Amino acid sequence: MTNKEAIEQLKQIPINPEASYEYMKTIYSALDLAIKALEERPQGEWIDTGDMEEYWGEEYQCSICGAKDHWHRYCPRCGADMRGGKE
């Protein structure tokens, strides 16, 4: 599922019209945060540093924040989407 599809799914969540105002306010706030997170995720890539780690093998660095990691879909430090635009 792409971020755009996820946003559309979030926008279509049915809301109970009989729910209290506080409940509705909480639901809308949570949905707004989820949509914002999906819209603002930066796109990065893992860059091979050429270093060899004893346990992991090759070491990679986030193109956005420089965090060193190994083959995760998202950078654990800045949250950048590391899938190279493939969703």
pLDDT (tens digit per residue) in 32-81: 777 777 777 788 988 888 766 655 556 788 999 998 876 788 888 888 88
Residue in 46, 48, 44 with CA at minimum distance from that of residue 80: 44
| Alpha-carbon span 17 to 86, nearest angstrom | 38
> Residue 63: its pLDDT value, please?
92
Q: In what order do the strands lie in the sheet with 57-62?
A: 46-53, 57-62, 68-69
Give the global pTM: 0.48
